[in-house]
Structure formats: C-alpha cells, structure tokens
Structure 1
Amino acid sequence: MHRQIATLFGIGWLRPAPGTWASAATVAAGYALHRIGHFPLVALATLVVLGVGFWAIVGYTRGMAPGDRHGIDRPEIVVDEAAGQLIALCATSAGFWFAGLPREVIPWPGIVAPFLFFRLFDIWKPWLVGRADARKDAAGVLLDDVWAGIFAAAASIAAAGVSHGLM
C-alpha cells in the first residue's frame, strides 16, 4: 500500500515529468473537491494527503540507500506533489469561500495560477524549498513540496490581488 499511495496509484510511473502529471491530476481532483464541498473539503483533503502521504513515503523509502542523484526522493514518489499542489489550491478555494461565492464559481485563473506557481517553486527550489529538499530523508521528500505549495499559495494570492486591483 505504501507504494501505491507514494506513486499516486501509478501516476508516478508516467514519463516524462511525473511530478507535473501528479500536479495536473491533483488540480483536477482539487477542482472536483471544491465543486463538491467548497474550501472545507479541499482543506480536509489537504490534511489527509499530508498525513497519509507522509506515512506512505516513510514506508516506501524504508531501507532505500540514498546512493544515486535522487537520494530517496525517487521520481516515482509523487504523493508529495499532490500535497503541495493541494496547499496551493487551498488559497484559491479559501478565497472564493471567504468571498461568499458559490462552489460552482471558480474561473480558470484560480486553477491555473496555483498549478503554474507550484510547478515553478517545486522545480526552482528557492530558499526553504531547497533547504527541505537537501535533507535527503522522508521528511525532506514531503517538506520541499509543502514549502513549494505555501509559496505557490502566497504567489497565487498576490497575483489575484494584482489582477483584481487592476480590473
């Protein structure tokens, strides 16, 4: 079960760019969760994926030697991307929730911006993202994506503020 969850039930085996595939699938799932239960459901799913994802990463990487260039952060492990992407999507979902908009309303920039920002920070690995990635342990596998998700959420909020301020 660790392997299935860590690879998001096989998405992690897709090539090229398994992290991008996982992020895209998570955006679709996050959008569906938002439409079903608005921000509370997206937030709950984020917490569940964080907890279950960490459990799966610890179990999947147990006994792996950090010998190659990936260490234990193997390309097929993508549940961490799902967790980070959900964090980024929480910003959009929360924005609509607190604005009192119905769950059916979510324009495409509110989905695309968190996706693009998350992928940017996950690949670029600035500051805390890179520090977490350098840990080379199970917590680091997840934490770099948590930080990338937090940065993407902040960037999405800033971009929305600029966009709505200009409109």
Structure 2
Amino acid sequence: MTHLIATFFYAGHLRPAPGTWGSLAALIVAYPLLLIGGPLLLVVGVLLAFGLGLWATGIETRSSDDHDPSEIVIDEVAGQWIALLPIAFGAANNNVPLTALWPGWVAAFVFFRLFDIWKPGPVGWADRRGDAMGVMLDDVIAGIFAAIVVVLLAGLYHGVLMQ
C-alpha cells in the first residue's frame, strides 16, 4: 500500500523524468476532483496527499540510503495541486469553466516543475533535510511558489494587459 501511495499509483515508475510524470498525473486527477467537489475537494486532496505521502515516504525510505528515490512522486502530486489552487478558486469564484483557464494550468505545471528542479531558497533547504518531511516539504514550498507566480501572472494579464 505504501508503494502504491508513494508512487501515486505507479506513475513514479514512468521514465524518463518520473517527477514530471507524477506532476502530469496530478493534473489529470485534479480535473475530475475539481469537477466533482470544486476547490475544497482539491484542498482535501492536498492534505491527504501530504499526510499519506509523509507516512508512505517514511516507510518506503526507512531502510534506504536514498532519502528521496525518484519513483516517489506523491510529493509532486501535493505540490502540483497546491500550484493549481489559484486556478481552482478563480474558476469557482468567477463561475468560469476550468478549461477556460487553460493558460493557468500550463503556468502552474511549468512553474511548479521549474521550482521543483531549481530548488531556490527554502525549497532547497527542505530538500536537504534528508528525511520524509523534507521530501514532502520541498514540493509543498515549490507548489506555493508556483501558485504565487500563477496569481501574479493572472493579475498581470487581467489587471494590466486586458485594460
């Protein structure tokens, strides 16, 4: 069970770039979650992915020298869903179809992957912890950074460019 969770239903075994595959799987799963329960269900999903991911990652890495094996992608799922939250709430609050905000989906994906790979500041700090919490936290922080960029880009587009 822990391997199923940690690899997000084995998406982490796809090659190359399992983290990118995990993020893509997160996008695919986010869409029906949002259709079924809106942004609040996505928030619940983030909390579950984080909690279950922390537990599963701890067990999967317990007897390993590698604290962050590439096949563990539940952290990417939690982070990617955080990056999508501004889009989810924006669509819901403005009664706009999720598909109408496709540029936001692309930005959330690209910027989350950028921050997850680049690991600036606190993302790198969390990654260097060398434990299950660090595995989860670096992607949570990368997701927060990506969400901030999504909000800034939406503000730029809707507030400045569309004036």
State the Cα RMSD in Å.
1.3
Counterparts of 2:30 and 2:103 in 1: how far apart (Å)?
Answer: 14
Counterparts of 1:41 and 1:102 in 2: how far apart (Å)?
Answer: 17
* 1:21-55 superposed Cα distances (whole Å, 9 cap, x missing partner): 01011111112211222111111111111111111
Map of 2:7 onto structure 1 = 7
State the secondary structure of the residue aligned to 2:69. Answer: coil
Question: TM-score normalized by structure 2?
Answer: 0.93
Question: TM-score normalized by structure 1?
Answer: 0.91
* Ranges in structure 2 where 5+ consecutive residues have no aligned partner: none
Counterparts of 2:98 and 2:18 in 1: how far apart (Å)?
Answer: 29
Map of 1:150 onto structure 2 = 144
Seq. identity, %: 51
Deviating more after overlay: 33-42 vs 149-158: 33-42
Counterparts of 1:141 and 1:104 in 2: how far apart (Å)?
Answer: 30
Asked whether 1:93 is paired with 2:88, we answer yes
Map of 2:37 onto structure 1 = 37
Asked whether 1:128 is paired with 2:141, we answer no
Counterparts of 1:106 and 1:26 in 2: how far apart (Å)?
Answer: 19
CA positional deviation for 1:10: 1.1
- The count of aligned residue pairs is 161
* Ranges in structure 1 where 5+ consecutive residues have no aligned partner: 66-70
Counterparts of 1:102 and 1:37 in 2: how far apart (Å)?
Answer: 15
Map of 2:78 onto structure 1 = 83
8 Å Cα contact 1:89-1:114 kept in structure 2: yes
